[in-house]
Amino acid sequence: MDTFECITTKLDTREFSAEDVPAELRSNILEAARLSGTGLNTQHWRFIQVDSKQNLKTLAEDSTSGSWVRGANFAIIVLTNPEYSFHLEAIRKSVDIC
């Protein structure tokens, strides 16, 4: 599968099964995120894994768009450093092009 096909055929999920996700798979997901590329190799993000059902419930209640996380087995919060605004620059450039 090429990148374009991957992006255009992806499936967004907002409901999750109660089936446990093995710790090794969770670790692999976090490792893949950690190894992904960043602008200028700044690694300007941090990841927080949320496992507790109570914390998932609180996260769902506090989120403006993620109430669906309540039913997840776990969640990963991605924190970025606002000093590195690469994502904002990309948005500005795409607006200028249009």
Distance CA 72, CA 20 (A): 10
| Tens-place pLDDT, residues 75-98 | 888 888 777 766 555 445 444 444
| Tens-place pLDDT, residues 10-49 | 877 777 777 889 999 999 999 988 888 777 777 778 889 9
| Cβ-proximal residues to 33 (8 Å cutoff; 6+ apart), any chain | 47, 76, 78
Burial, 72: exposed, middle or buried (Cβ in 10 Å; 0-12, 13-18, 19+)? buried
Helix (H, G, I), strand (E, B) or coil at 71: helix
